[in-house]
Amino acid sequence: MLATLLRDDAVRVASPVVELDVAARASADTAPQSVRLLGIDALQVGTVAPALLPRVDAAQDRLSVLDPDAAFANDAALRGLNLRIGDRLELRGPAGWQRLRIAGTLVLGGS
């Protein structure tokens, strides 16, 4: 679908976004909460949706946007899950719980 869209002369730029509602928790000891997860192409999203650009925290590796074990959360998600930059986050997927490191934030709001 993306390839077809990019061949259209009316389309200057496009970037895929995958959106899911998933269970998230700070650790195995905490109750899971439902959060909206967005999967983006961090190298392309800035030209299409700048609010989705991940902001790498100064204490994290600047290449964290390319790290498959890194996640970026908005302020509402950080507060709701009681997490800080550098903390671990667990997301439940088809293969069970996956641990990710919070490497920065997003401008995009949420609740």
Per-residue pLDDT of 59-95, as tens digits, reads 999 999 999 999 999 999 999 999 999 999 999 988 9
pLDDT in tens, 31-54: 999 999 999 888 888 888 888 889
Listed in sequence order, the residues at least 6 apart from 25 whose beta carbon sits closer than 8 Å to its beta carbon are 31, 32, 33, 81, 89, 90, 97
Number of CB atoms found within 10 A of residue 86's CB: 12
pLDDT in tens, 96-107: 999 999 999 987
Position 109 pLDDT exceeds 80: no
The structure's pTM equals 0.84
